[in-house]
Chains A and B, each alone.
Chain A
Amino acid sequence: MRAELRAIGALGARSIRNTFRYPRYLGPILIFPTLFLAVNTGGAGGAIDLPGFPEVHGFLDFQLAAGILQASLLAAVMGGTGLALDIELGFTDRLLAAPIRRPTIVLGRLAATFALGMFAAIWFLAIGFAFGAIVKGGVLGVIFVILFGGLTATAFGGIASAIALKSGTASVVQGMFPLVFVILFVSSAFFPAELMQEPSQTIAHYNPVSLVATGIRGPVVSGLRASDTLDGLLGLAIIGGLGFVLSAWGLRARLRAS
C-alpha cells in the first residue's frame, strides 16, 4: 500500500513539474479563465439589478465559481492530454511493465489534476480578494472552495483520462476544450439558472455541473450551508462516478491494446 502511494506521489509530482515547467500547459488553465472572469464581471455586472437575481455582495463574488470551475475543467483536460502524450511517447508502456498496479498510472495523473484544481481555486480566490470579493463562509469557506476546486478537477480528470486511455492521442483529448465551454454555458456556472434563456435553462436544471457550481458558490455568496455542500458533493459524485467507470473501461481497453 505504501509503495502504491509512493508511486502515485511520484507520478503526480512528475505531472505537476511538467505543467509548471512549460507555460503552454499552465497558460490555458489560468489565462483564459481569468480573462473570461474579467470580461464577464465587467460586461454583465449590471445583472445583479435584474429582478430575481440572488442577493450577492457583488457580481465578481458570483462569478468566482465560474472561474474556478472553468479552470478546474481545463486542468482536467490538460491532465488527460498529458496522459495521452505519455501514451504516444511510450512512457505509459514502460509503466505498464513496472511492478505497480495499473490503476496507479491513472491515479498518479489524477493526484496532479487534484493539486492543479486546488491551485486554480487559490488563484481565483486571490484575484477575487484583490478586487474586493468576500467569502461569506470565512476561513472554513475558503478551505471548502479550494477543496471543491481540487475535487472538481479530479472528477472531470477521470473522464479526460478515460478518453486519453481509449484514444491514446493527445489531439483527441484536446478536442474536449470546446466541450468544456458547452458544459459550462448550459449550467448555472455563469448565471442563475432561473434567469437563463431556454433551452439553456432547462438543460442547466439537469446538468450536474450546476450542482457543483452551487457547491463552490455557496460558501462565497451565502456562507457555509449544508444544502449547498450536499448539492456540490452530489454533482461531484455523478461526474466522478462516470469518470471512474469510463477510466476503468479505458484502462482495460489500453491494456488490451498493449
Chain B
Amino acid sequence: MSALALELSTIGVLMRRALNEILRVPGAAIPGILAPSLFMLGLTGAFGALTELTGFSTESYISFILPVSLMQAAGFAGAATGVNTVRDIELGWFDRLYLAPTPRPALLAGIVLSAGFRALLPMTAVLAIGLLLGAHWPGVPGLLIAILLALTFSAVSASWTVGLALRFRTQAAAPLMQASMFIAVLFTTSYAPLELLTGWLQTVASINPVTQVVEGVRQGFVEGVSFAGTWPALVVLAVLLGLTFAFALRGLATTGR
C-alpha cells in the first residue's frame, strides 16, 4: 500500500469511528440538535419584531436567524470533536494513536473531517425545522453553498478545539471550547444587519471574519446567491482552516515531548 493510500485509509478509519459513535450513542446528538433549534425558535419568537426596523434585509426573522443556527450546529459539532478528543486523551486512547505508523497530519485530518459527520445530523434537523416553520427556501444553489460553508466551519471549529484539547488535556476545558464557538458565531451580524447593530457589537462584527461566513450562509435565505456574496466566506474559511489546522498540528507535534 502506498504512503498516500495508507494516510487516506487512516483518515477513513478515524471518520468511520466518529460515525460509529453517532450510530451507537444517538442520544449524544440530542443536545447538538436541541440547542440551535431552541435558539432559532426562541429568538424568532422574542426578537421577530426587529424585521420592522428600517433597513432590515428581510421580513422573515426565521429566514434571517436560520443560517446562524446552522452555523451554531456546525460550530458545536466541531466543539464536540474537541471535547471527545480530550476524553480520548484522558482515557489513554490517544496515546495509542501516537504509536501508529501514521503521519500526524493524517491523524488530525481524520479527526477534523469527522466533525463533518457530526454536523450533518443537527444541521439537517435545524434546516428541516426552520423550513417547516416558514423560512424561505434558498434554492438548490443557496442550500448547497450554505451546507458547504457550514461544514467547512465545523472543520475550523474542530481544528481549533482539538488544538485546545491537546494543550489543556482536561475536560475542564470544554466550556472554553463551547464559549469560543458561541462568541465566534454570535459576535457577528447574527441578530441584525451590520447597520442595525449597536455600540461595540457593530465594531466587533465588522472585524470578526466569521461575519463573512454567516453572510455567505445567509445569502440564499434572504436575497439570492451571488459570487460576490460567496467568495469572501470561502477566503475567510480557507484562512481560518489553515491557521486552526496549524494550531492543532503544533499541539499534536509538541505533545509527549
A interface residue numbers (CB < 8 A to B):
23-24, 27-28, 31-32, 35, 38-47, 49-51, 59, 178, 181-182, 184-186, 190-191, 195-197, 199-201
Contacts and interface: CB of A to CB of B under 8 A. Distances in A.
Contacts of B174: 24
Contacts, number: 102
Contact of A195 (B35, B49, B192): B49
User: Is the contact region of chain A dominated by helix, strand, or loop, or is it mixed?
Assistant: helix
B25 interface: no
Interface in B166-199: 172, 174-175, 179, 182-183, 186-187, 190-192, 196-199
A59 B197 CA distance: 12
Contacts of A49: 53
Given A45-B199, A46-B50, A200-B42, 14 more contacts: A27-B175, A39-B186, A39-B187, A42-B198, A42-B202, A43-B191, A43-B197, A59-B198, A181-B42, A182-B42, A185-B43, A185-B46, A190-B47, A191-B46
Given A181-B42, A200-B45, A32 B179 contact: yes
B47 A44 contact: yes
User: Is the contact region of chain B dominated by helix, strand, or loop, or is it mixed?
Assistant: helix
Contact of B31 (A27, A50, A178, A191): A178
Interface in B35-83: 35, 38-39, 41-50, 52-53, 61
Best-surrounded residue of A59, A190, A199 (most CB of chain B within 10 A):
A190
Nearest to A198: B45
Contacts of A38: 187, 201
A200 B183 CA distance: 26
Contact of A182 (B38, B47, B183, B199): B38
Nearest to A184: B42
Contact of A43 (B38, B44, B201): B201
